[in-house]
Amino acid sequence: MTTKSINKADVKDLKGQVVGSVDLPDPVFTDHVKSPLLWETVKAYLANRRQGTASTKTRGQVRGGGRKPWKQKGTGRARQSSIRSPLWRGGGVVFGPHPRDYHVSMPKNLRRGALISSLQTKWKDGAVTIVKNFQLASGKTKEIAAALAGLKADKSTLVLLEKQDSGIARAARNIRGVTVKPAQEATAYDVLSHHNIIVSEAGFRQLQELKGQVMG
């Protein structure tokens, strides 16, 4: 994305043509990127996605093996107590996983700060494009594909809108690597896991207000 000055950013239409500009109050997306916060937030997000249902049986839970496989002495073989021993095929598992809760709580202010910091990373990489209004006439997949082509978003793309739009989300569902979300519901992981960020002008203003709340 190109900018006319340090305090302005171009606003484009869905054909990629510049149709206006938006103010960038200082400092908006110009602060130092907080890498440790991004790491903690992404780690917590991925941990919260885990179901924690992996489970294995210990030797006490494996069926069978109530008697010794052979007598203690006189066979020439190593002594064995049960076929449920972890040393036996089909026996119990030592230190295997058991159901647990991986949930990690993070304060809302830290999550918002991580979102802003992730956007700063994409902003500095020139991967953020602001559009005047991201609306589709027919709500068909080919229409949103044409819009992405016009905006030169040829890789994974996150589209941030001012509010939930089921029509656009449905149209983008058939395009691999494209995610549509309201700007205020986006996470740092959403931003970092996509190559391009397309945000509507109204959604961009919401993010500006969000940054003001974090800084305040």
The answer to whether the beta carbons of residues 62 and 92 sit under 8 Å apart is yes
Residue 67: both structure tokens together: 């008697």
Domain that holds residue 158: 8-50+103-215
How far is Cα 133 from Cα 13, in angstroms, rounded to an integer?
7
- Do 119 and 182 lie in a common domain? yes
- Do 109 and 94 lie in a common domain? no
Averaged pLDDT, 200-206: 90
User: In which band, very low, low, confident or very high, does the pLDDT at 6 lie, cut at 50, 70 and 90?
Assistant: low
End position of a domain, from candidates 61, 77, 101: 101
- Do 35 and 73 lie in a common domain? no
Does residue 123 register a pLDDT over 70?
yes
- Do 79 and 25 lie in a common domain? no
End position of a domain, from candidates 101, 135, 163: 101
Q: What is the pTM of this model?
A: 0.79
- Do 29 and 95 lie in a common domain? no
In a domain, 158, yes or no: yes
Residue 197: both structure tokens together: 């960020």
Residue 181: both structure tokens together: 């979300």
Averaged pLDDT, 157-167: 90
The answer to whether the beta carbons of residues 117 and 41 sit under 8 Å apart is no
In a domain, 2, yes or no: no
pLDDT tens for 12-48 read: 988 889 898 888 765 555 567 888 999 999 999 999 9
- Of residues 136, 118, 115, 130, the one with CA closest to residue 199: 130
- Do 198 and 111 lie in a common domain? yes
Q: State percent of the chain over pLDDT 70.
A: 92
Total residues found in the chain within this entry: 216
User: At which residue do the structure tokens 């910091």 appear?
Assistant: 117
